[in-house]
Amino acid sequence: MWKCLKIIGTELLLKVSVIVLLQTTVQGLKFSYGSCPSIEPMADIYLKRYMGVWHQFASIRPVWKIFSKCVKFHYTMGSNGEFFIESSHKTLSNDITKTNFGIAKPEEYHGLPQEAGFNMHYFNWFRNKTAVTTPLYILNTDYENYAVEYSCTEVTWFTLQRLQVLVRNLEVNPTFVLDYTLNTLEAEEIGHMFHYLQTTNQNNC
């Protein structure tokens, strides 16, 4: 029995570790106990306007992410409601750019696509298959200046929550963006997440 529990525990630890490592490559992540909150993605989103280049203004990130900077996303529209993701960041140690690729497919709710709700798949090119799949919710955006993205994944007793604030222009007014973000999170009843946000290093990109 103890041998079986040990095997199950090891498999669970490996699963959590893989998800954490893959999701934190270029994104913010909060690891905690409990279940995921009920989230309402943005209604009536115009996805084509959401496409293009976004810079990460702030995110929830683990300690080791302080050694990266210049996090950027390039979204490209697909043909069936999905969009392609090219995410990149630079390492502070040697200024090398690292890039990941993925696709966000519309999440279905009662058999119908859910607006601003997607299942995000990042690829493992070494094995030629999807490495990890997580939800992606666009909570709010004005398309031209800022956006708030959130996701939450449940792994047994734990949740992996991702939150990031994106901007089109790095010269944006930070107070304006942060006020907008706090209002968005409070409307979703996850305002406490705001206090975990850390500004992304976008210097000398």
How many structural domains are present in the chain?
A: 1
Residue 167 lies in a domain: yes
Residue 172 lies in a domain: yes
Residue 113 lies in a domain: yes
pTM: 0.79
Residues facing residue 59 across a β-bridge: 164, 198
Residue 204 lies in a domain: no
Residue 205 lies in a domain: no
* Domain assignment of residue 125, given as a range: 2-199
Reported as a single tens digit per residue, the pLDDT across 132-184 is 678 899 999 999 999 999 998 887 777 888 999 999 999 999 999 999 999 99
Reported as a single tens digit per residue, the pLDDT across 77-119 is 999 889 999 999 998 888 888 888 999 999 876 555 667 889 8
Residue 166 lies in a domain: yes
- The CATH number given to whatever domain includes residue 176 is 2.40.128.20
Neighbours of 122 (CB within 10 A): 20
Residue 97 lies in a domain: yes
For residue 191, the SS3 value is helix
